Amino acid sequence: MKKLIIKKHSKKGILRLVAFFLVVANCALAQTGVGVKAPKGAVVYMDGTRKMLDEKWTYWDGPRLSATLPIKWFIVDNPAGKGTAVNTNDPAAAGGKYGAADIVTKDTFRDFRAHVEFYISKPGGNSGVYLQNRYEIQVLDGDSTSHGLGAVINESKSPYYAYNGVGKWNAYDIVFRAARFKDGKLVEKPLVTMYFNGKKVHVNQAISQVWGGPNSGIDGGNDGGKGITDTPGGLKLQAEGHDVLYRNIWIKRLDLKEANTDF
């Protein structure tokens, strides 16, 4: 009887230990928020330096491009801490001319996990993070509509409650699964799960189309944005003539067999 009790307790202890390690593993997987460093297997795409900006990014060659290389986005001192950041205020985008000076990673992606940190300097600051150079996660101070801050644009509500505000760093942590095709036809919509400053705000949000027309991103001009193709795309950042800063951007390639982006 005594031995049996010891065995029972041992099993309970083992189960507790297993549960503990599962929690730790999940926390590590879903590590989110401002300042999160790139995990093993991820590539840093923006560290606030000119060298990395020139090495890993280029202008998106869309129909409205009016900027020329080298990239005219410029490096500034971090206004809320140490180091430097990249300012999106390219002269070619003055007046909110999106598509005129947007930059995109030279690498292209299908499924991935991405971390992006941004800083809006003044009220009304406007930019945007485009997954696969198609699907916009809005960066826009003062707008809490489905076209507003943190929204999967025109597909979800804005999680404005998670915003740290003007003059502070904010972070998007994203897992994205690309659209799936069979015999050239769309069979599964793209999906995204996102944390905004450590708060889970979108879970397996389906994306129906590319919004904003041909000046917005890949496939924007195909069938009014509904003609999505099976072409990988880079992570794009939008210039709209505002002092919006970026830093600490990293991406890890994934291969998501199941239609699930939750993490």
Each residue's pLDDT tens digit, 139-184: 999 999 999 999 999 999 999 999 999 999 999 999 999 999 999 9
> Do 13 and 50 share a structural domain?
no
> Do 224 and 210 share a structural domain?
yes
Q: What is the CATH number of the domain that holds 167?
A: 2.60.120.560
> Do 43 and 25 share a structural domain?
no
Does residue 261 lie within any of the structural domains? no
What is the structure's pLDDT at 28?
A: 44
In this model, does residue 2 exceed pLDDT 80?
Answer: no
Instruction: Between 2 and 32, name the one with better pLDDT.
Output: 32
> Do 146 and 54 share a structural domain?
yes
The whole domain housing 94 covers: 35-254
Q: What percent of the chain is predicted at pLDDT more than 70?
A: 89
> Do 25 and 53 share a structural domain?
no
253 within 8 A of 45, measured Cβ to Cβ: no
> Do 106 and 10 share a structural domain?
no
> Do 92 and 20 share a structural domain?
no
Does residue 259 lie within any of the structural domains? no
Q: Confidence class of residue 5 from pLDDT cuts 50, 70 and 90?
A: very low
Mean pLDDT over 46-56 rounds to 98
**How crowded is residue 221: how many other Cβ atoms within 10 Å of its Cβ?**
16
> Do 91 and 9 share a structural domain?
no
Q: Is 145 helix (H, G, I), strand (E, B) or coil?
A: coil
Cβ within 8 Å of residue 246, ≥6 positions away:
46, 85, 86, 88, 116, 117, 118, 119, 127, 237
In total, how many domains does the chain have?
Answer: 2
Mean pLDDT over 205-211 rounds to 98
Q: Render pLDDT for 66-97 as a digit per residue (tens, 0 to 9).
A: 999 999 999 999 999 999 999 999 999 999 99
> Do 45 and 14 share a structural domain?
no
